[in-house]
């Protein structure tokens, strides 16, 4: 009985951790496509193929519901997978919508026309593929008007985190925040639009300053998952919980244990 959580690598652990805290009785099967990370520098066709392969694998292992805990995969593959049709009884959901609903002060599933919201200047930090997809701006435009979004593509940050080089990750975050501030000197809110970035949340907040509200996805996605499972109680599936990787299980386990500060043991997918 497990919900599938998919990411290109370790970033989705920020979503998993929040989901486990919010839903202690639910099991999760986490899939890290570490052998192909980072996704953010790949083209959208390639991201779509990789994402579809991993989600199929999770469905075949008995997960009925799979969360794409990856903005890059959500941007490049989610809409297409849903439009092409998913197998009977299976679902795949992404991470954009809960975040945008929070930013635009909407309740879950409020599909009323776009309206003015309090926040006017938003900085978006994401991978090159997510930024070039403009998926975030598209979802935002369905819900809000008059919001100025400046997107900063944060090349290199995911590779550094996956390699465990946090000093490099920190330096890159600071330089990407500087670059954003040259384009938008006073953002009111900042979106960490990659599930790896909450692992660097303190650095983002320090570099942006205390007046900028930083939004990240863990708690928001966990809350919307709790709501979904309450409305669809049979979507827990028959899979066993655990951690799978297409990379080197020992290396990935060490990094994951370091990030979540508890023992995490990955097995080969
Ligand atoms: N954590 C991912 C995201 O939310 C993917 C990063 C990558 O593989 O480039 O975008």
42 lines ligand 1 (CB under 6 A): no
Residue 25 CA to ligand 1 centre (angstroms) = 27
172 and 117 inside one domain: yes
* pLDDT tens for each residue of 200-227: 999 999 999 999 999 999 999 999 999 9
**Rg, C-alpha atoms of the chain:** 17
Band (pLDDT 50/70/90 cuts) for residue 85 is: very high
Q: What is the pLDDT of residue 115?
A: 92
Residue 238, pLDDT score: 73
Above 70 in pLDDT, residue 168?
yes
* Mean pLDDT, rounded, for 12-38: 96
CA 199 to centroid of ligand 1, rounded, Å: 12
Beta bridge partners of 123: 150, 190
Q: Work out the number of other CB atoms within 10 angstroms of the CB of residue 4.
A: 29
Count of domains observed in the chain: 2
With the most atoms of ligand 1 within 8 angstroms of its CB, the residue from 40, 48, 255 to mutate is: 40
What tokens does 5 get? 């959580």
Q: Are 139 and 230 members of one domain?
A: no
* Residues carrying an active site annotation: 70, 194
- The answer on 10 and 46 residing in a single domain is yes
245 lines ligand 1 (CB under 6 A): no
Residue 227 and residue 202 share a domain: no
Lowest average pLDDT, out of 76-85, 96-105, 119-128, 164-173, goes to: 96-105
Domain that includes residue 82, residue range: 2-94+218-268
The whole-model pTM stands at 0.94
Integer Cα distance of 45 and 65 in angstroms: 23
Q: Per-residue confidence at 1, pLDDT binned at 50, 70, 90?
A: low
Beta strands in the chain (DSSP E): 2-7, 27-32, 65-68, 91-93, 115-116, 121-126, 144-145, 148-153, 189-192, 213-215, 242-245, 267-268
* CB distance 32 to ligand 1 below 6 Å: no
**Encoding tokens for residue 220?**
């928001």
Asked whether 195 lines ligand 1 (CB < 6 A), one says: yes
CATH of the domain at 35: 3.40.50.1860
In this structure, the answer to whether residues 202 and 109 fall within a common structural domain is yes
Residue 237 has what pLDDT? 65
Q: What is the mean pLDDT of residues 92-121?
A: 89
Residue 79 has pLDDT above 80, yes or no: yes
In angstroms, how far apart are the furthest CA atoms of the chain? Answer: 50
Distance 130 CA to ligand 1 centre (A): 8
Q: Residue 257: what pLDDT?
A: 97
**Shortest-distance atom of ligand 1 to CA 75:** 10
Residues of the chain above pLDDT 70, percent: 99
pLDDT of residue 239: 77
Which residues of 23-158 form beta strands (DSSP E)? 27-32, 65-68, 91-93, 115-116, 121-126, 144-145, 148-153
Q: Are residues 163 and 196 in the same domain?
A: yes
């Amino acid at each position: 009985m497990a919900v599938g959580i998919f990411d290109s690598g370790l970033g989705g652990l920020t979503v998993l951790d929040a989901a486990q805290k919010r839903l202690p009785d639910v099991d999760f099967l986490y899939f890290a496509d570490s052998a192909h990370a980072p996704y953010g520098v790949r083209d959208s066709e390639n991201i779509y193929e990789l994402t579809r392969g991993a989600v199929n694998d999770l469905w075949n292992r008995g997960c009925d519901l799979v969360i794409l805990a990856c903005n890059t995969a959500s941007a490049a593959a989610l809409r297409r997978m849903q439009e092409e049709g998913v197998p009977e009884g299976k679902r795949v959901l992404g991470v954009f919508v809960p975040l945008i609903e929070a930013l635009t002060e909407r309740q879950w599933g409020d599909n009323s026309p776009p309206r003015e919201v309090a926040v006017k200047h938003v900085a978006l930090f994401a991978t090159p593929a997510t930024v070039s997809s403009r998926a975030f701006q598209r979802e935002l435009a369905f819900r809000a008007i008059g919001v100025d979004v400046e997107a900063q593509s944060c090349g290199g940050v995911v590779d550094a985190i996956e390699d465990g080089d946090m000093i490099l990750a920190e330096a890159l975050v600071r330089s990407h925040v500087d670059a954003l501030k040259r384009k938008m000197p006073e953002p009111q809110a900042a979106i960490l639009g990659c599930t790896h970035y909450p692992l660097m949340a303190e650095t983002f907040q320090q570099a942006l300053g205390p007046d900028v509200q930083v939004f990240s996805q863990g708690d928001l996605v966990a809350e919307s998952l709790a709501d979904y499972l309450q409305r669809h109680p049979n979507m827990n599936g028959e899979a066993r919980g655990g951690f799978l990787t297409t990379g080197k299980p020992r290396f990935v386990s060490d990094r994951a244990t370091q990030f979540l500060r508890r023992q995490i043991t990955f097995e080969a997918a």
